[in-house]
């Protein structure tokens, strides 16, 4: 999985550099708001689109660039993440879990937006969308436009993906 | 002790900010919550005593920029601090020109809240 060369060229940074921004943003969000220190395992060796017993939070970009930043994590890890964020134990998939994962996607989107748009007005962020289930598939419009970074924290793996296209 | 209105569509973020305000040792009494700008305006219209407003920008129904403009259009001069992932200069500049007092970028630490808000409370 790699970022489209045109996108990398248009944002004037390499795929590795953009991945670095996503890694830094993910670490900052987790360290500051989740009290966890994830380690990245970039690059991803094999494409992943099917998730089991997982939850996915997504925030869209529109404007000069459009695309989606997403976080995919096992429900077991999402429960720990949510418990840490809220300061109370979260034991089931519920509104708190959905909201917490959506907010993480929102903060990741904000960080990536800073790279894509220095001013902030030419790229808009959507309200977060969250999906979860026992077995589901997430497909981007074009796999070649994706950079996906695997992370590991507390012996659980999760993914952060960024799909981008240059707007018209 | 100050009463605070917290406007954010994420219930998780409202809980984190509420906890962080108290962890930072800020003199906070009541914290009123609203999930968007419209709810925020309704809390203000209810006549509650509010000394500081903290608002997200990217929200459904009425976003933070519209909310700030609406609060100021009503003649309300309560300090409004934007707490947002939207750290872009133009958006923050618009918020400030619309009447916001300051901004804090998400994610944040309790120390950063204390640093920004300490002088306002």
Instruction: Residue A75: name the closest of A131, A35, A120 by CA.
Output: A131
Q: How far is CA A13 from CA A8, A9, A17, A23, in A?
A: 5, 6, 6, 15
Strands (E), chain B: 2-7, 28-34, 52-55, 80-84, 102-105
As given in the structure block, the two tokens for residue A162 are 């960024």
- The DSSP secondary structure of chain A, one letter per residue, reads ----HHHHHHTTS-HHHHHHHHHHHHHHHIIIII----EE-PSPSS---EEEEEEEEEEEEEESEEEEEEEEEEHHHHHHHHHHHHTS---SSSHHHHHHHHHHHHHHHHHHHHHH-SSSSSEEEPPPEEEEEEEEE---S-GGGEEEEEEEETTEEEEEEEEEEE--
Domains of chain B, start order: 2-115 (3.40.50.2300)
Task: Report the pLDDT value the prediction gives residue A66, as an integer from 0 to 100.
Answer: 86
Backbone φ and ψ of B9, nearest 5°? -75, -15
User: Does the pLDDT of residue A113 top 80, yes or no?
Assistant: yes
Identify the closest residue of chain A to B85 by CA–CA distance.
A110
Per-residue pLDDT of chain B (121 residues; tens, 9 = 90+): 999 999 999 999 999 999 999 988 899 999 999 999 999 999 999 999 999 999 999 999 999 999 999 999 999 999 999 999 987 788 999 999 999 999 999 999 888 999 999 888 8
Would an 8 Å CB–CB cutoff place B11 in contact with chain A? yes
Classify the phi-psi angles of A151: left when phi > 0, otherwise alpha if psi is within -120 to 50, otherwise beta: beta
User: Does the pLDDT of residue A12 top 90, yes or no?
Assistant: no
B/e letters for B36-64, b = 16+ CB within 10 Å, e = fewer, are bbbbbbebbeeeeebbbbbbbbbbeebbb
Q: What residues 108-137 of chain A have any CB closer than 8 A to a CB of chain B?
A: 109-111, 113-114, 117-121, 125, 127
Instruction: Residue A120: name the closest of B81, B66, B84, B29 by CA.
Output: B84
Q: pLDDT tens for residues A137-149?
A: 988 766 546 889 9
Mean pLDDT of A93-112: 95
Identify the closest residue of chain A to B61 by CA–CA distance.
A127
Angle in degrees, CA A120, A123, A128, rounded to 5 = 105
- Whether residue B89 and residue A119 make contact (CB cut-off 8 A), yes or no, is yes
Interface test with B, best of A107, A115, A126 (most B CBs within 10 A): A107
Q: How confident is the model at residue A4 (pLDDT cuts 50, 70, 90)?
A: low
Identify the closest residue of chain A to B8 by CA–CA distance.
A103
Would an 8 Å CB–CB cutoff place A45 in contact with chain B? no
Domains of chain A, start order: 5-46+53-142+149-166 (3.40.1550.10)
User: Does the pLDDT of residue A2 top 60, yes or no?
Assistant: no
Q: How many whole angstroms separate alpha carbon A19 and alpha carbon A22?
A: 5
Q: How many CB pairs under 8 A join A and B?
A: 73
Would an 8 Å CB–CB cutoff place B36 in contact with chain A? no
Q: How confident is the model at residue A13 (pLDDT cuts 50, 70, 90)?
A: low
From the list B9, B60, B107, the residue facing A28 with the nearest CB is B107
């Amino acid at each position: 999985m790699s970022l489209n060369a045109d996108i990398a060229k248009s944002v004037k940074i390499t795929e590795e550099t953009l991945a670095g921004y996503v890694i830094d943003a993910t670490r900052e969000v987790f360290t500051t708001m989740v009290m966890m220190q994830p380690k990245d395992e970039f690059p991803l060796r094999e494409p992943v689109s099917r998730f089991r017993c997982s939850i996915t939070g997504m925030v869209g970009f529109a404007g000069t660039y459009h695309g989606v930043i997403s976080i995919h994590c096992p429900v077991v890890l999402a429960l720990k993440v949510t418990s840490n964020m809220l300061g109370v134990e979260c034991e089931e998939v519920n509104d708190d879990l959905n909201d917490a994962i959506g907010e993480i996607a929102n903060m990741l989107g904000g960080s990536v937006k800073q790279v894509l748009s220095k001013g902030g007005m030419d790229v808009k962020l959507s309200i977060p969308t969250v999906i979860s289930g026992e077995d589901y598939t997430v497909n981007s419009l074009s796999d070649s436009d994706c950079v996906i970074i695997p992370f590991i924290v507390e012996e659980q793996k999760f993914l952060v993906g960024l799909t981008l296209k240059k707007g018209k | 002790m100050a009463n605070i209105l917290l406007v954010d569509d994420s219930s998780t973020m409202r809980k984190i900010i509420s906890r962080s305000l108290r962890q930072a040792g800020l003199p906070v009494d009541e914290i009123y919550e609203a999930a968007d700008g419209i709810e925020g305006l309704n809390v203000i219209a209810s006549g509650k005593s509010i000394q500081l407003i903290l608002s997200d920008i990217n929200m459904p129904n009425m976003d933070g920029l519209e909310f700030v403009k609406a609060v100021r259009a009503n003649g309300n001069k309560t300090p409004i601090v934007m707490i947002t992932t939207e750290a872009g200069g133009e958006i923050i500049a618009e918020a400030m020109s619309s009447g916001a007092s300051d901004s804090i970028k998400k994610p944040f630490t309790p120390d950063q809240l204390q640093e920004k808000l300490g002088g306002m409370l």
